[in-house]
């Protein structure tokens, strides 16, 4: 029986130029239509674009590229190296990304996922994302549709009004 291995503790940090060969290798291994180095560079040169890597013992185990918008984060690219998949690395990266949300600023994370990328759909669904719409014929390289998936910020502290109503209900 194949049991999942324990999640390696990764350090999630800003992507630096030195990471690019490993990031490109993960990208090539992960996607049928991968980004090239120029795609990464063009994206990361934009002021609102952030690149982060999951670092494990001086190796890049995964990466994510996202854009900062006024009320949301838009995840553009996300991948985990083959030997680290299903070991919690992707989950640690999503937790880091969701941790950047707040009730008064950016309240959601959105992304597009190919209709044929079932593994990504399941992963993001298990991470709390929901499909909110379909973009027909979205990709330039195929006629494939994309699902827009979204995660909405939820406070861990109950609303004051909610707490009051609960107490009122219990009191009588």
- Averaged pLDDT for residues 2-18: 81
The confidence score (pLDDT) of residue 156 equals 61
Task: Using DSSP, state whether 12 is helix, strand or coil.
Answer: strand
What pLDDT was estimated at residue 1? Answer: 47
Q: Is residue 5 part of a domain?
A: no
Q: Which H or E element spans position 108?
A: strand 108-114
Whether residue 148 lies inside any domain: the answer is yes
Is residue 25 situated within a structural domain? yes
Helix (H, G, I), strand (E, B) or coil at 152: strand
Report if residue 1 sits inside a domain.
no
Q: Write the DSSP string, 32-55.
A: SSPPPHHHHHHHHTSTTEEEEEEE
pLDDT in tens, 48-104: 999 999 999 999 999 999 999 999 999 999 999 999 999 999 999 999 999 999 999
Q: Provide mean pLDDT across the span 137-153.
A: 93
- Tell how strand 108-114 and strand 146-152 pair up: antiparallel
Least confident among 13-17, 78-82, 163-167: 163-167
The CA-CA-CA angle for residues 78, 80, 82, to 5°, reads 145
Q: Is 2 contained in some domain?
A: no
- 78 within domain boundaries: yes
- 152 is a domain residue: yes
Cα→Cα distances 13→50, 52, 56, 63, 166, Å? 11, 5, 11, 9, 41
- Give the residue, 161 or 22, on which the prediction is more confident: 22
By residue count, the chain amounts to 172
Residue 115: pLDDT above 80? yes
Q: What is the mean pLDDT of the chain?
A: 89
Do the domain assignments include residue 131?
yes
- Look up the CATH number of the domain holding residue 119: 3.40.630.30
Range of the structural domain that residue 111 is part of: 11-171
Total tally of structural domains belonging to the chain: 1
């Amino acid at each position: 029986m194949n049991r999942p291995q324990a999640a390696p503790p990764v350090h999630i940090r800003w992507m630096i130029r030195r990471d690019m060969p490993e990031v490109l290798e993960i990208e090539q291994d992960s996607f049928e239509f991968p980004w090239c180095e120029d795609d990464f560079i063009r994206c990361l040169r934009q002021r609102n674009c952030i690149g982060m890597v999951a670092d494990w013992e001086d190796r890049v185990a995964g990466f994510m590229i996202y854009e900062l918008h006024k009320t949301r984060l838009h995840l553009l690219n996300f991948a985990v190296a083959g030997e680290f998949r299903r070991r919690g690395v992707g989950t640690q990266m999503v937790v880091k990304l969701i941790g950047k949300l707040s009730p008064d600023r950016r309240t959601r994370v959105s992304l597009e996922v190919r209709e044929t990328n079932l593994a990504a759909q399941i992963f993001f669904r298990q991470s709390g994302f929901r499909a909110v719409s379909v973009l027909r014929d979205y990709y330039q390289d195929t006629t494939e549709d994309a699902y827009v998936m979204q995660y909405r910020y939820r406070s861990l502290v109950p609303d004051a009004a909610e707490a009051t109503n609960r107490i009122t209900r219990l009191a009588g």
